[in-house]
Amino acid sequence: MSAVITVQDLRKSYRYAKRGRGLIGALRGAVAPEHQTIAAVDGISFEIAAGERVAIIGPNGAGKSTTLKILSGILEPSAGAARVFGLVPWLQRKMLAYRIGVVFGQRSQLWGELPARDSFALLRRIYDQDAAPFARRLDSLVERFEVGDLLGQPVQRMSLGQRMRCEIIASLLHAPSLLFLDEPTIGLDITAKAAIRDFITEQAANEGQTVVLTSHDTRDIELVCDRVIVINAGRIVVDQPTDQLRRQFLGRKLVTLQSAAARIVIDLPGIQVRPSAPHTTILEVDTRLVRVEQVIAAALKDGGIEDITIEDPPMEEVVREIYASTHQ
């Protein structure tokens, strides 16, 4: 599959003037400033193929937002190369804009005091869209996102979930082939998050859109993305399919048993009991030491089991483990 994004040895460093303490420090800083250089992105390389859904994750200050800004053309790198659809983003920003859609979870692209309908109408002009097909696409997106009743409402009076649905519609109106999503579910409730994730996944699958997402919500990554790039201190520490990442770093399963008895005790190696409510037993199973079916068989042997759930550990734990391993 052809690469939509190609990044080679990309670097971005910022130079800051250090400020001293107090009046003397301020004067010294004004006369003979000391500078400090920080490498936000420190030589990363990767490719993203058409139709891939990739999460770029990392702790705060890791360089993920800087990478996203460089790829969308609003920041120049200090060194290295990047191409998006064959374009150099920071040199051909406006041309690239027709082909990408961007959602910043914490920033609005709509005009707050006006109804969303008016913002969409202006975006049609901004992206040079023909009226009739644009109207058809808008109608379709409005129907799918169920925001028909909201179109006449000033954006600033919408709830965060309603606004975010309109934000995503705004980013898709010009039919971009690549979607950059920066914390798209931040601040939303569970239902709204689920709706946004479902929509992004469905949209990408049906239109073959490439998605690049950053998020601190590991459920976004698990449910939307099929590949994860972990950045730490400006460098890529992991670049793997989401499933493989989860298995490699934990190799564990969570087995939850609902029982008539207050607790189920299983004496097998590689099992740890996690804290839980009475009549619920959560077992963390190290699959390198014991198979899950052995654990279930042992649980069923004593009887009284009402329900069994087998899950992968939450992505959050995976990420925590990755960070820990890269710091060692």
Partner 1 sequence: MKSMPAPISRRPAAAPSLNSAHGLIAAARMGAAGTLAGWPVLLGRGGFYVVAMSILAALWDKVAAERVPHALVLPAGGLVIYVGVTEWIMMSTPAIHLRLEDDIRSGALEVHLLRPKLYLAQKIAETVGGLAARTSVIAAAAMALLLVSGRTVPAPAAWVYIVVLGLVGGVIVVLLYAVTGLCAFWIRRTMPVYLIVQKMLFLLGGLFAPVSFYPRWMAQVSEASPFAAALYWPGVQALHPSASLFWRALGLQLIWIGLLSGLAALVWRAGLRKILRQGV
List interacting residues with partner 1 (CB under 8 A).
Answer: 14, 66, 69, 72-76, 90, 93-95, 97-100, 102, 104, 107-109, 111, 113-114, 118, 121-122, 125-130, 133-134, 136-137, 140-141, 143-144, 154, 172, 174-175, 202, 206-207
Residue 200 CA to residue 210 CA, distance in Å, equals 10
Shortest CB 323 distance to partner 1, Å: 24
Shortest CB 124 distance to partner 1, Å: 8
Nearer to partner 1, 122 or 260 (CB): 122
In the block, which residue shows the tokens 């040079």? Answer: 128
Shortest CB 49 distance to partner 1, Å: 20
b/e string for 306-322 if b means 16 or more Cβ within 10 A?
eeeeeeebebebbbebb
Shortest CB 134 distance to partner 1, Å: 6
Nearer to partner 1, 119 or 162 (CB): 119
* SS3 category, 262: coil
φ, ψ (nearest 5 deg) of residue 93: -55, -45
Nearer to partner 1, 108 or 294 (CB): 108
Cβ neighbours of residue 142 closer than 8 Å, sequence gap 6 or more: 148, 151, 169
Shortest CB 200 distance to partner 1, Å: 14
**276 token code pair:** 């839980």
Nearer to partner 1, 177 or 280 (CB): 177
- Which of 55, 8, 4, 50 shows the shortest CA–CA distance to 231? 55
φ, ψ (nearest 5 deg) of residue 5: -125, 130
Nearer to partner 1, 34 or 143 (CB): 143
